[in-house]
Structure 1
């Protein structure tokens, strides 16, 4: 008996089954549960964050809309418009006083500036080295509000100079009656106003809230060093800029969640991001608890399975020991029965089987002894085929000596027929050998029927080495001779044609005999004819042997019509070494 390998051991298999049936489901359940909890936490946080971000977006939209209305109030002021048209007639002080009348009603505005041709007028904070550049989008506008990106400026106060961040609303100064353009209005606002509007939704660490414009340039951020920089367009920035609101997950050194909403007034976006690790703190405690519980449960299961496998596999090992002894020839070995369960019944059956084996061996020895005695008795009465061959050869030479050549030829053919038929070691022969066998058979048949039979061969050369079952043509030709010459008085013609077609070999045996009736033809393979008893192999036998050797798609096909002869087609595979 071969030694059972480790992985084929029943105990190992029980352990593997336990892992698959209990351990893996626990792990899968824990993973699915954890993931579902994570999804719920993220969903609830996302819904809450989206609501707060949308609310902040609406709040900022109101602030910007209010500034828009204030700017409209200024550019529609007829007195200011008249001063701009005739700015050469008014002094710097006149313009400053006019602008002061507007700024006094708004405490949230840092400065109001008016630029007419090369002249600049301003009221509010004093900005040092202010850039007079007018951006193209303002020059190309048609009077609509243009929100400029936040810029850092250095302002001058009594305590000294310091840096501040301003975002600016700019508009063309247009007389809508004539559509003439007379200058530019710019209103500076402190960026801290924007920061205060979203500071309420700024949460714990690893969270950040900021505002960017349509191009992804940061307008407001708690970290002032990031103002003026651009959000990363890949992998998440493009989706944020191309959608009005929503949320997405992205990776930037860590996995983060971004929630964003668009400010209707100018297309700026309020964006809040948070590290997902902040959201998973609750689930981490649950996962820790499940891991400890799973470990304890796993230890208990493994302990139980070890005890179980020892208890229930020990009888199996004893049974294997008994089987090994039986394999070695010890039929006295028996399985001790200690339980009434399935293993006990199996042991009982094994003992019965060993008893039956012992009885069968005893009986076989007895029968073998009787068989030897019978064979010894039959040996004395048996005719040795070699003795028969030698006797026929002696008769052949006696016929030759006496000048009876036809009898000599017939005996020679008969000897060759007997040599093939008594050679039990060869089941298949070449087609050439089968044809030689058939020719020897025809020598005897022509002698019997006084040369009233003609046999014609048309065989493709490359078909002669094909392997075919022995004695498949002789029974077919014999059938043609018996049925043909018993009912015809003229010469019987038999033609054998062999050819290949579509990887198959076809052997056609055609005779000019009386033909076969339809009812006989329909039942020809169901029973052997009386003539088959002589040859021992009839048409049905040939058909069965071909199908047995090569498959059900091969065999005999008989076509016949009374008065028109018979054609039998033998279908074989095109194989030389089958």
Structure 2
């Protein structure tokens, strides 16, 4: 079945398919190798860039927290500020308390001024839930217990990111709380990151990579802060199957993770579509080039097909012209030397074929003419004519009028049939010869039969092959005409030809007999009439008119036979056979002529 399908594929489709495969296969292989190579490069590039940005963000955050931790250590364990707070706690004199309070605030302001990454700073008493010594105005009610916990250690707790309690700013900050080293007081130091310290980190609108979002994971891997709460909800466990992994995919996002020295982690998440954007852009370019290459390959394949198809079309026309001998010879060239040479050979072969065909046709025509001539010359016309002439004069001298009449009719008949073959005959000549023949037959047979000859006078001058009517009438006599026999000979000129009808009321013939009579290859046909009969009629019609003449026989056993012959009237008979030279009609007996 597969072989049958392949055999039905056209030459054009095969050329285009083979050309596309041979052209596109290397390009596709090279494209696939390039795609996987560039995809790996782009993936590594994007992942490396994200990881690098994340490390930078982690370093910024760690530096900020370390700076806050350093300041908290300085204030929690430093002697100056703690000493002033102890004095203030013990002092009862209002003026002195005011002075100490101012010194403490001055100390804190100096520390804040020397550390620009420090924002709000205050001391908080969790027992009394009161704060003091703040360096900025505090927004609302201060409640460190509601802050998002990032990491908790025995001496320090990290919070964030969260909205700053600093009333002068409105941004996210990180904060720490450290217990102050005061033996008689439960006091904690609260410090926030300063204005702009983490603006680029937790302000997405200020990032160059606007689609990148950040997550903060606590020491247990829970999400302490999320910029994508719809996918990564806060206080939920981060979907990381391998805690040591630095990258992965989750929720349609590609993530990278970096862990700090304190144990908390910073995670950046980017939509996978954006990660693939550069890859897709490159893929679109490759597909565009590939499509252009395909169009070019199809166009070249089409040109190649046309280059082959046009010569094949010329060969097709040359081969078709073999069946038309009168078609003009084509002179077009393909302008391709190989095809032009084959066209030259084809046209030469066509000329030789038609020359051979013409030669065979001429030979067949000559052979048919020779067959007719052979039939006509089966007897020696000179010998017969001279002998009959001698018999005629002997009968005259001996007073044998019946013999004289018989011989004279026979002599005239033979003179017509054999003596003027080179000359053109007419229907009138055929009718006269037929009358002589019938007169001989009436003398020859011992029974009486009637013959009715009905000839259209307009047809008497029409050309006709010689010896045409006699074999058909002889055939009627041969097939059963006896006493009270009747033969009708009709010649009528019609619009589409000359109609000749020979009808008898004899014994008739079966269909098989008619077939044998018309078949030249059967031996029965030689038994008709004078030995040439219907075979001669068929041959002479074929030689004279080709396929334009029609011969038909209708017969029924016991009811007679009708032979119909239709001849074209616009065409002269084409048969020309070398004429036999008839002897002249002498006026006295002569010896035999040679």
Q: Same fold (TM over 0.5)?
A: no
Select the structure that is richer in strand.
Answer: 1
Length-normalised TM-score, structure 2: 0.41
Larger radius of gyration, structure 1 or 2? 2
